[in-house]
Structure 1
């Protein structure tokens, strides 16, 4: 039986974007609606100690630690660099009004890839963007409903992406040296819940967080399902492999859209969980710094 442990933290509205930084042995995650980035340490008693927070006056889509306590952050419509003292440098607005950034990933060459969603109910025309080494912006997709979980195969030759409104996990060929990305194809369809975030293990399997599905679904490298890990929360949002052996998952959840009675029935809603997995993950790629678009 898989071990699932709820961590002691404050309840989040929409926790997302968990990440493990090997160099500092720290974890980070965000609360999108609160506009907050958290940095913490896991201890031997399966607890997390929050050692730093970054607060913004707008929603946060994703955040990546760069070393030396610096972060690359996707705010609502801009990208931002945060230095060790908390000073913030931002890009120009990269999305139109009524849309915001959501999930992101760093590719094997150190480029940021980040997607967007609509906040107005018009779930069409959302984008998946890539920040190039020269600071230019490349549009990989411009026809998404809600861009969500992103990840790479172990060899870096396949990019996986989720469109939550289409209930589809996509795959495409990806040459990270040249930056050439192939056409996306349907890798797996999830119709009994909404796919949200994802993580790819060292064997090429995918682990998909299920919003409205109370768990994580394991897909093999061919897209075939191999069962769910259940959590007693309605909305599971994302996960990342963490720890020195990368064989545990830090799982984020949400309390958003739940009534007080539903939160009472599911006290883990909005909390973080640690899940022991039978396979190890991959180390995260680190962003190669460039000047933000102005």
Structure 2
């Protein structure tokens, strides 16, 4: 039985988007609602926090050691050494009620990310990929809340979450990042909503359940094969890290909890970790489009 440990009880309002830095053996993640970027050192347990100019929705490592961060309305370069944010490109200037949400870097070094209705109601969100020249290209549309882009180990399947619709979709993806054959991969039953996700080395999908108090693991054919339970309700995303890629770091949230739930769930919003029975895939770094040339 897997038992997660809360390694940083920081009480994030909406902890999200953990990524693993192999260089400094640390986890970086965001608190969207409190407009903060966080860092947790796996070796020393030291922590750092930086304020962001608007809601940081995801963070993606680049090949030069900096990060690309999706803020409310655009993509920014984030230099952790200076704590500075530099605007790179606006996104969806015509969709004023939207903000950006989850993102990830694929094995070819391209950035994928989504947008969402900030009121979590209208299907105005979309899925994007950044091309070789740094142009933001729409790949799918019609989501109220996008989440979790992830890719299979063979690079042929892209997974993407329709959180409000409680559905994780699978797409065929080619070497140019074009999507086709959209189909429902998982439909979550009950009141929980699928949030962020990660794929392990066996091609299994680990899906965080917001309001479900757990992470569920699914085989590549959609069969549920494991569940990891947490002492709080809102699980948002995980990333595999450590030298053997078998330590899963997990973000959680207080958002949406009532006053009584917050009193009971004392670790809600904390950063958790657990040991996985199988390794995850290596953390990809952004080398195309928005990455600086070295």
TM-score tier (shorter): over 0.9
What's the secondary structure of 2:261's corresponding residue?
helix
- 1:13–1:31: 8 Å Cα contact kept in structure 2? yes
- 2:166–2:187: 8 Å Cα contact kept in structure 1? yes
- 1:66–1:286: 8 Å Cα contact kept in structure 2? yes
- 1:133–1:288: 8 Å Cα contact kept in structure 2? no
Matched, 1:49 2:50: no
Distance 1:121 1:247, change over 3 A: closer
Point out which structure has higher relative CO (alpha carbons under 8 A, 6+ apart): 2
How far 1:123 moved relative to its partner? 2.4
In structure 2, C-alpha distance between the alignment counterparts of 1:237 and 1:48, rounded to whole Å: 21
**Please, what TM-score do these two structures have when normalized by structure 2?**
0.92
Matched, 1:79 2:75: yes
How far 1:82 moved relative to its partner? 2.0
- 1:22–1:283: 8 Å Cα contact kept in structure 2? no
- 2:145–2:163: 8 Å Cα contact kept in structure 1? yes
**Please, what TM-score do these two structures have when normalized by structure 1?**
0.92
The number of residue pairs the alignment matches comes to 287
Q: CA RMSD in A?
A: 1.7
Distance 1:87 1:57, change over 3 A: closer
What's the secondary structure of 2:260's corresponding residue?
helix
Residue in 2 aligned with 1:63?
59
Residue in 2 aligned with 1:94?
91
Deviation track 1:21-44 (CA, whole Å, cap 9, x = no partner) reads 22332211110111111122113x
- 2:238–2:248: 8 Å Cα contact kept in structure 1? yes
Distance 1:194 1:49, change over 3 A: same
Deviation track 1:49-81 (CA, whole Å, cap 9, x = no partner) reads 21x433113111100122554111000011001
- 1:123–1:165: 8 Å Cα contact kept in structure 2? no
- 2:98–2:124: 8 Å Cα contact kept in structure 1? no
Deviation track 1:99-135 (CA, whole Å, cap 9, x = no partner) reads 0000001122111111011013432131001111112
In structure 2, C-alpha distance between the alignment counterparts of 1:180 and 1:97, rounded to whole Å: 27
Deviation track 1:199-233 (CA, whole Å, cap 9, x = no partner) reads 10000001100111010011111111113211110
